[in-house]
Amino acid sequence: MTLHREGYLIMAVGLIILSAIQVGNYFLFTMTGWTWLFLLLSLGALVMAYLIIQFFRVPSRVFSFTDNDILCPADGKVVVIEEVTESEYFKDRRIQVSIFMSPMNVHANYNPISGLMKYVKYHPGLFLVAWHPKSSTDNERTTMVIEHSSGKEVLFRQIAGAVARRICYYVQPGQTVKTGDEFGFIKFGSRVDVLLPLDCKINVKIGDTVKAKLTKLGELN
């Protein structure tokens, strides 16, 4: 396991602040005989430090796939599987699979298929809760489309939630990408939507807990 580069500054600042608070607590409480309270606050500081660090963890994962497999781009829980009209790029009917990422999930995002990155667009927006029906169209988000070697295209979106305030992405149109390579990171609670062709086989169901690069969302036909 490693720690994501997007978290270096946040982790450093967070640990400095927690350390400074604990130094103040030490002189405030141990000098006045409230050692038990200092120890309790120390435990709380350790928990906070753990939560900050675990958010930016990137576990090592060994995965395998066939050329037509669509791998899960994010850790989380499947909250939507439905046929929708995609209005930004395809402007037709697609199968939408939505994955909700809680603050406890790994927040690095990975390419679901290999191919040519045809479209990348960042949209500023609102910060509705990630499971709100309008979060896919109204929230801060980034839309990307990969064209598979078969000619079929898969669209996926990073969507900010009520807590998330920054979406990071590292790909550009015209770039050739590989399944399982990292394409971005979302800070704090968020959601990823994947829009698939109607004839795509779906391998997950609503309520499933999924893992990036390990869970197969479906297969291109």
SS3 category, 93: strand
> What is the phi/psi pair of residue 160, to 5°?
-70, 150
Distance CA 79, CA 97 (A): 8
Concerning whether 64 is annotated as a catalytic residue, the answer is no
Question: Nearest-CA neighbor of 98 among 181, 182, 217?
Answer: 217
Query: Could you tell me where the beta strands, DSSP code E, fall in the chain?
Result: 2-3, 57-58, 69-71, 76-86, 92-101, 108-110, 115-123, 141-147, 153-160, 167-169, 176-177, 182-186, 190-196, 201-202, 209-210, 216-219
Task: Report the alpha-carbon angle 151-144-182, nearest 5.
Answer: 100
Query: Exposed (0-12), middle (13-18) or buried (19+): which is 88, by Cβ within 10 Å?
Result: middle
Angle at 196 between CA 91 and CA 207, to 5 degrees: 120
DSSP H helices, 56-178, are 135-138
Which residues are known catalytic residues? 190
